[in-house]
Chains A and B, each alone.
Chain A
Amino acid sequence: MRSLARLRHLTRPLAALLCSALLAGGLEAREPEEVVVYSARNEQLIKPLFDAYEKASGVRIRFLTDKEGPLLARLKAEGVNTPADLLLTVDAGNLWQAAESGLLQPVDSPLLRARIPAHLRDPDNLWVGLSVRARTVVYNPDRVDPAELSSYAALADPQWRGRLCLRTSNKVYNQSLVAMLIAERGEQAAESIVRGWVANLATPPFADDTAALKAVAAGQCDLTLVNTYYLGRLLKEDAALPLKVFWPNQREEGSGVHVNISGGGVTRHAKHPEAARKLLEWLASDEAQAAFAGENLEYPANPEVAVAPLVASWGEFRQSPLNVAFAGAHQGAAVKLMDRAGYR
């Protein structure tokens, strides 16, 4: 009997907790000045900016983080009743997908058009890039002469046999890189490039960019393809690492370094679309851009804004002029191509 009584002790606070939670959901009143954000960009990268915006504008920001797939599924399920006003992602493909699924609404903003280059924005104004993530070649200067390097495609040459390290093809960054190859050269040529990469691997693909960089520094392989901010993080810890940046595709007409974006769009059923637009515009402003990209050593989407000193030390480069929407349009084909080529 005693045990049952003890159980009852436990159930009462639990019931109280449940009731209060239910009520909390019910009583929360809508304030006039508020923006609700669903973000696939991590809390530690966005919260400092949101805090700054709240202070400057007096607008309250409520936000939730999750992976992009679940966030899109969630937006779709909630439909007209979604609380979300703004969707932030760390990849253009998912913004494209959100737009395709009708989850975003166009934002006609002269400010955004002025601040963000056209190839980093949706042609129909459904989303806009806020920071640029450049995926480039990083090599070990003890083992590679940069004069040997030229393009992503050239890494498929037999001269790199047993010298290349790559991250897994499960990561969207590699999927969108291959999507760019498809957009530029067609599927067949892209597939033979990817097959060449796979043949050149020194070791099975890594789970993350950092591991691939460490392998290059340790001499397990000679070069790899990574997003530059991973290099930045490593160099911040140990500036002496033998790792150098090479910007590929600079000599090729109409091409350039593969860039993806972290960006956002206003949701179709936003309750505060105006406030969401203002937040987007603020995030594209000079003041916010430096911090937005700087928090993670990325490049600002607004080309007028200066980059962090470490990032600047890697030199300037030309981005691929393709609209980043290609990442979404060709991503499915890229994934299937990598499956066929045996890129794990």
Chain B
Amino acid sequence: MTQAATPILAPVPEARPLWPRLAIGSLAALVLLPLAVIFASFADPQGAVWAHFGEFVLPRLVVNTLWLLIGVGFGTAVLGISLAWLTAVCEFPGRRWLSWGLLLPLAVPGYVLGFVMIGLLDFTGPLQTAWRAQFGAAPQIPIRSRGGVIAVMALTLYPYVYLVARNAFQTQGRRALEAAQTLGLGRVGGFFRVALPMARPWIAGGLALVLMETLADFGTVAVFNYDTFTTAIYRAWFGLYNLSAASQLASLLVVLVFIALALEQRSRRGQRFTAGGRADRGQRIALGPVARWLAALWCGLVFAVAVAVPLAQLLAWAWQSRGDLDVRYLGFLYRSLILAASGAGLVVLLGLTLAYALRARPGRGASFIGRLSTLGYALPGTVLAVGFYLPMSAIDNGWIALGNRVGEQWAPLLGGTLAAMLLAYGVRFLAVGFHPVEAALHRITPSMDEAARNLGSGGRDLLARVHLPLLRGGIATASVLVFVDIMKEMPITLMTRPFGWDTLAIRVFEMTSEGEWQRAALPAITLVIAGLIPVLLLMRGGDTEQIHAT
């Protein structure tokens, strides 16, 4: 295996099984229904709004959005890949705890980091205030700017890249590097020409999630008053009371993301990325005396800015509002955990189903629809929540009407049930459950299946003894990402929760929506700490794997 890409074997003609198309069909029905509702808004043309937006709003917002995508994409790639490489392949002081510590920004919502950073660095913050008290005029720190919002989003979103890239480097990095070195490539050449290209599907999957989240974000950009495409969507909806125009704008986002995904997929066509499934046995790179401290400094700095500073600030605020802490918090915590855990289970199961269905090469049309069903992640949450709620209510209303016909009073089938909530999470987060699993599935070559079959293993046995161990990393990654995402999620939780099912994220919403940021710190910090649990479990699992391997 000298190069990343090996040509595909000519496909063996055989009858296509039916199940992948069935699986994709039912998944697509779930996800495409809300998308269809959003696209159906075009039946109600909004020419005047479009003309106004086209002239005064969109030119600026499209530029803003593109800069944000480029900046956050680049930032998360640099942060995620460099940190992943250092912690997965190199040895330096503090590597052990930083390798999991650097995951923690996952649990810190972007708007929280944004609010904390603005609070600290803006004109009225302690830094500039102290400087003014000491020296008169202070140098302005332009935190409420394009650069500021990009930095903050990159610092909260890089774990998506870090996690998957680390997974890739861990399983192939050191050995690939050794192979490259035997072929005469240096460390730098080995990294850029072998290790990085080999990790591409992983990194691309992670970046896809980052960019979709960036496009869909409203909370973080709102804290910076940095107007993006999402701002236009909400301005049309809440400002002009025009949900149709808002949906039409949102549907553009979907189209955009779909094209991007399709292009990425196309550029990878004809390549197959496979690597041995065992964790790496190669030696860690021992960095030089200066380099090892530079590595520690870089990782430590990211940890300090993305985790330590916001947590310290949140703790200080939470302490001020500790009077809010009462027995109800147990309920909030419990419901957050239950929703996140069962949601993560369901979403990863759906992601696995989709990944396997696509692996079975169900034909071009089915593959297309399959990929389409991950697009719920690219929509602003509130828009998707409405897209989900409309068909759901239509079903409920039909059900109740049917009941009335037969003279019965039937309660709503879906409305106000946890089942509906979990389905909505499925629509929203399928991409998060799918990408890490799909990347992991790349590792399992058809020849491995063949080999296992030749050894008499097939069906469930093949899945359990060959696939499951190889997919463990991907499944764990997907579960943690979805878990933490659901913990932080607001719009769908707000819209679909049964009466009384308030969670930690809902508490954060209640406080922030009236501008009571300090009081929001208490639920926010509880949310962050609860979100750490699965992250720590994941890292512990990862470490045991390594111990077994060495």
A interface, CB within 8 angstroms of B: 1, 3-4, 10-11, 14, 17-18, 21-22, 24-28, 36, 42-45, 62-70, 73-74, 77-81, 83, 93, 97, 168, 170, 172, 175, 203-211, 214-215, 217-218, 220, 230, 233, 296, 328, 331-332, 335-336, 339-340, 344
Contact = CB atoms under 8 A, between A and B. Distances in A.
27 contacts: A1-B465, A17-B418, A18-B418, A21-B417, A22-B417, A42-B513, A44-B519, A62-B500, A69-B243, A70-B389, A70-B491, A73-B243, A73-B390, A74-B495, A77-B389, A77-B390, A80-B397, A93-B241, A203-B144, A204-B225, A207-B225, A220-B123, A332-B240, A335-B239, A339-B52, A339-B56, A344-B227
B123 A218 contact: yes
Nearest to B416: A25
Main secondary structure of the interface of B (DSSP, over half): helix
Contacts of B517: 210
A1 B417 contact: no
B433 interface: no
A100 to B, nearest CB: 8
A81 B397 contact: yes
Contacts of B345: 10-11, 14
B233 to A, nearest CB: 11
Contacts of A335: 235, 239-240
Interface residues of B, number: 74
Nearest to B409: A30
Contact of A170 (B235, B390, B412, B506): B235
Nearest to A341: B56
Interface string B505-516: 010011101111
Interface of B: 52, 56-57, 118, 122-124, 129, 144, 222-225, 227, 231, 234-235, 237-243, 338, 342, 345-346, 382, 385-386, 389-390, 392-394, 396-397, 400, 411-413, 415-419, 422, 460-461, 463-465, 468-469, 472, 491, 494-495, 497-500, 502, 506, 509-511, 513-517, 519
Most B CB atoms within 10 A — which of A24, A68, A335?
Answer: A335
A65 B514 CA distance: 13
Contacts of A42: 510-511, 513-514
Contact of B225 (A62, A68, A170, A214): A170
Given A1-B464, A211-B124, A335-B240, A296 B491 contact: no
Contact of A81 (B390, B412, B465): B412
Nearest to A339: B56
B283 to A, nearest CB: 30
A244 B61 CA distance: 36
A163 to B, nearest CB: 14
Contact of B123 (A70, A83, A172, A215): A215
Given A81-B400, A209-B515, A220-B124, A344 B225 contact: yes
B411 A170 contact: no
